[in-house]
């Protein structure tokens, strides 16, 4: 049983790290590349078209985030039952799950819906505010996952070496 728990801990930490890496890659590398596509392929794409490509990438990543929401919830509930948690882990878990839920349940569907209505809608204040909200949500998610991973390591190592 102890070996299985160690494997679960290791897989969980790897998945948290992969999620953090995915957020950084999609948020920094993909956005800066796509929104500067004219530097690579010339002026072929409009800002609206670049935004549509970005949304497709974020939409696909949201499926992974949904999977991770289930993983985080399941692992942390199991850890709570086995008394391998603390207030910081509980709080950051709630923040991570909330921001994942907002991103995949509110922001992505609304952004995709507004983009489907055409380029003019994406130039509106409502779209800009929605997009800004999704950016803030994504940043809060990133911070919460970093804190969760760090604290989870601290709790796991503290139990082992205390």
Model confidence pLDDT, tens digit, residues 55-80: 999 999 999 999 999 999 999 998 88
Q: Which of 109, 23, 118, 93 is nearest to 61 (CA)?
A: 23
Per-residue model confidence (pLDDT) at position 162:
44
Please write the tens of the pLDDT for every residue from 136-160. Answer: 999 999 999 999 999 998 888 876 5
Report, as an integer, the average pLDDT of 95-115.
96
Report, as an integer, the average pLDDT of 4-10.
89
pLDDT(45) > 50:
yes
* Angstrom distance (rounded) from CA 108 to CA 115: 11
Question: Other C-beta atoms within 10 Å of 130: how many?
Answer: 18
Q: CA angle 57-63-69, nearest 5°?
A: 130
Q: 124's torsion region: left (phi>0), alpha (psi -120 to 50) or beta?
A: beta
Report, as an integer, the average pLDDT of 79-106.
92
Return the domain boundaries, the chain: 2-161
Question: Which pLDDT band, with edges at 50, 70 and 90, does 115 fall under?
Answer: very high
């Amino acid at each position: 049983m102890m070996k299985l728990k160690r494997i679960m801990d290791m897989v969980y930490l790897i998945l948290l790290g992969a999620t953090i890496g995915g957020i950084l890659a999609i948020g920094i590398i993909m956005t800066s590349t796509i929104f500067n596509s004219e530097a690579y392929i010339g002026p072929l794409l409009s800002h609206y078209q670049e935004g549509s490509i970005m949304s497709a990438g974020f939409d696909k990543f949201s499926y992974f985030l949904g999977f991770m929401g289930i993983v985080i919830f399941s692992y942390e509930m199991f850890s709570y039952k086995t008394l391998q948690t603390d207030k910081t882990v509980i709080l950051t878990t709630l923040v991570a799950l909330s921001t994942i839920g907002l991103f995949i349940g509110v922001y992505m569907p609304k952004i995709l819906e507004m983009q489907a209505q055409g380029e003019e809608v994406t130039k509106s204040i409502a779209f800009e505010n929605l997009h800004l909200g999704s950016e803030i949500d994504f940043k809060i998610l990133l911070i919460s996952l970093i804190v969760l991973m760090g604290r989870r390591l601290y709790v796991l190592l503290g139990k082992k070496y205390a």
